[in-house]
Structure 1
Amino acid sequence: MNIHVSLGPLVSLIAGILILIMPRLLNFIVAIYLIVIGLIGLFGLGAAHF
């Protein structure tokens, strides 16, 4: 059984969980999320499967 996890949804899930746990960090989490998604888009890591 192979499980393919792409990086974008994984980062989204982690960001969502952190926002639920620590709502005060919302601005930082959103900023980091946007930077990571932007870097994934620029360098084409969205197609990478781990």
Structure 2
Amino acid sequence: MTGPADQERGAAADPPVLVGPGDLDRLKKNREPADFLIHDRIAAALRAAGPQ
């Protein structure tokens, strides 16, 4: 992992992590109890809004 000082010296940054729909179960399993995925927040907001 590189930090701001490394980036100033021209060190390469870590490549982005690509995540797709097939990774959702793994992401949910590996999160902390208080962590929420954006999908959870959107689903909760839609349920709270009720039928449109």
TM-score using structure 1 length: 0.31
Higher relative contact order (CA 8 A, sep 6+): 1
TM-score using structure 2 length: 0.30
| Structure number having the greater helix percentage | 1
Bigger radius of gyration among the two: 2
